Amino acid sequence: MTKNVVVLDYGFGNVRSAERAVARAGAEVEITRDFDKAMNADGLIVPGVGAFSACMEGLRAARGDWIVGRRLAGGRPVLGICVGMQILFERGIEHGVETEGLDEWPGTVGPLTAPTVPHMGWNTVEAPADSLLFAGLDAGERYYFVHSYAVHDWTLEVTNPKIRAPRVTWSWHGEPFVAAVENGALWATQFHPEKSGDAGARLLSNWIGTF
């Protein structure tokens, strides 16, 4: 049975690129900000480009914060991409301005410290051995990044032995940063799978295969 994926259109994201990549991965896909369609889709993608604060403003205007929260409360899959990943954290700080995120994960999005910023182009990642997102992909595979801000520390601790700890993938550009997270129904990537060629298509297929 073909899965249905909605790419949330809240004004901040490469929605057409995401649409094409998801279709290539084998799912039916629709770009919309319709509340009911976003709530009822098998999977929801939250893209994001630009400033953290502007993305949060646009997301709230489209009731995206409600959509993400309600889907996760019901165990419904959500995938955040680029700034769509960053806004899942507690807060973002850009040019000294602090903005509240969705607070699905603790942590702060801050500037990258590197010789060259933005971090733009292809880079490798270090994924956990049991990653589902990177299943079937070579360790030296490269993914496409475009960002000047990132999460530098993973602070969420899981003390209940019955709950699986999130799988956190790292990359490096001047310093280590979180490149992807798999946490129950909530997955996210700092890089752009929709711009990462065959590897990105496999990632999206892996995600779609979980629901």
pLDDT tens for each residue of 144-196:
999 999 999 998 888 887 788 899 999 999 999 999 999 999 999 999 999 99
Q: How confident is the model at residue 91 (pLDDT cuts 50, 70, 90)?
A: very high
Question: pLDDT by residue (tens digit) across 116-141?
Answer: 999 999 999 999 999 999 999 999 99
Question: How confident is the model at residue 24, as a pLDDT?
Answer: 92
> Rounded to an integer, what is the distance from CA 154 to the centroid of its chain?
15
Q: Rounded distance, CA 24 to CA 194, Å?
A: 10
pLDDT reported for residue 51? 93
Q: Give me the helices (H) in the chain, please.
A: 15-24, 35-40, 52-61, 64-73, 83-86, 197-208
Residue 193 in tokens: 């799978």
Task: Show which residues are catalytic.
Answer: 82, 192, 194
The end-to-end CA distance of the chain, in Å, is: 11
pLDDT of the residue at 96: 87
Q: How far is CA 171 from CA 33, 117, 122, 125, in A?
A: 32, 15, 11, 5
- Binning pLDDT at 50, 70 and 90, where does residue 106 land? very high
Report the 10 Å Cβ neighbour count for 102: 21
The whole-angstrom separation of Cα 174 and Cα 125 is 14
Element (H or E) spanning 124, and its range?
strand 119-124
Percent of residues in the chain assigned helix, strand, coil, to nearest 5 = 25, 35, 40
Report the predicted TM-score, pTM, of the whole model to 2 decimal places.
0.96
**What is d(CA 87, CA 115) in angstroms, rounded to the nearest whole number?**
25
